[in-house]
């Protein structure tokens, strides 16, 4: 004999309502977490984006860290010769190789600032930015396949700086960018480290563009002098 157990109508509605509410809340939390993740993540490479880097550097403000900026050389030529899909493929592999350099370092972050500029930062009580930059260059030594049967060499202009606790992260980025541009002005494929004993540069309204304009002017004057 089968005995039916019937819930009171009001109880059944209440139970269903609670289940629906719980599932809705979980769904909303999941979508919110995903939206927050996307807000600080570069969609192509999976690295942190500029906002993600800013957040990470803010978390390092009370400690010393090494900062390396990587500006790929002749990246536009890859896009122009093989297409943007090839350029994207190159960036994804470069991001993976650079990430591998610091994957075992707690608190390290790798970010794509946009275009072909990638920054990595990791806590470091001692000034080891030059070693970190050299590791990045070594990681990019092997050619990268950008299309079936097509591999291209990867060269980069690298700027490195050791940042002491309490320094402004925007000034640290400006110093690394200026160092990388110094390499670029010399023809690329190398590294310059910001003098650890020198003060970080002041940041103007358009710091990176302004510093690059000044570097270009110095280069022209040096050639014409």
Output the pLDDT for position 11.
60
Which residue is catalytic, options 42, 66, 73, 116? 116
Task: For the chain, give the mean pLDDT.
Answer: 84
* pLDDT at site 29: 61
Return the structure tokens found at 37.
């993740």
Which residue's entry shows tokens 């003060």? Answer: 199
For residues 52 and 26, give the distance between their C-alpha atoms in angstroms, rounded to a whole number. Answer: 25
Instruction: Find out whether 42 and 48 touch, Cβ atoms under 8 Å.
Output: yes
Q: Which CATH superfamily is domain 41-224 in?
A: Reverse transcriptase/Diguanylate cyclase domain (3.30.70.270)
Residue 220 has a pLDDT of 46
| Domain spans, the chain | 41-224
Token pair listed for 45: 């490479």
CA atoms of 23 and 29, how far apart (whole Å): 10
Our answer to whether residue 116 is catalytic in this structure is yes
Residues of the chain under the 50 pLDDT cut: 205-207, 210, 217-218, 220-225
| DSSP element (H, E) containing 141 | none
CA atoms within 13 A on the CB side of 49: 12
Residue 36 to residue 44: CA distance in whole angstroms: 16
């Amino acid at each position: 004999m089968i005995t039916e157990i019937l819930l009171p109508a009001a109880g059944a509605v209440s139970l269903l309502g609670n289940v629906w509410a719980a599932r809705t809340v979980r769904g909303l939390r999941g979508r919110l977490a995903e939206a927050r993740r996307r807000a600080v993540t570069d969609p192509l490479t999976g690295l942190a984006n500029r906002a993600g880097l800013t957040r990470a550097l803010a978390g390092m403000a009370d400690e010393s860290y090494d900062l390396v900026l990587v500006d790929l050389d002749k990246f536009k030529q890859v896009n122009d010769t093989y297409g943007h899909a090839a350029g994207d493929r190159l960036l994804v592999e470069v991001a993976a190789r650079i990430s591998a350099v610091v994957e075992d370092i707690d608190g390290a972050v790798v970010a794509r600032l946009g275009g072909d500029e990638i920054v990595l930062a990791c806590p470091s009580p001692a000034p080891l930015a030059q070693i970190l930059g050299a590791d990045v260059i070594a990681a990019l030594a092997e050619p990268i396949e950008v299309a079936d049967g097509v591999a291209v060499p990867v060269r980069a202009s690298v700027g490195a700086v050791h940042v002491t606790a309490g320094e402004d992260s925007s000034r640290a980025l400006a110093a690394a960018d200026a160092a990388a541009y110094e390499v670029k002005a010399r023809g690329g494929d190398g590294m310059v480290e910001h003098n650890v004993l020198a003060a970080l540069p002041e940041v103007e309204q358009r710091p990176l563009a302004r510093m690059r304009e000044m570097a270009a002017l110095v280069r022209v004057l040096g050639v014409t002098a």
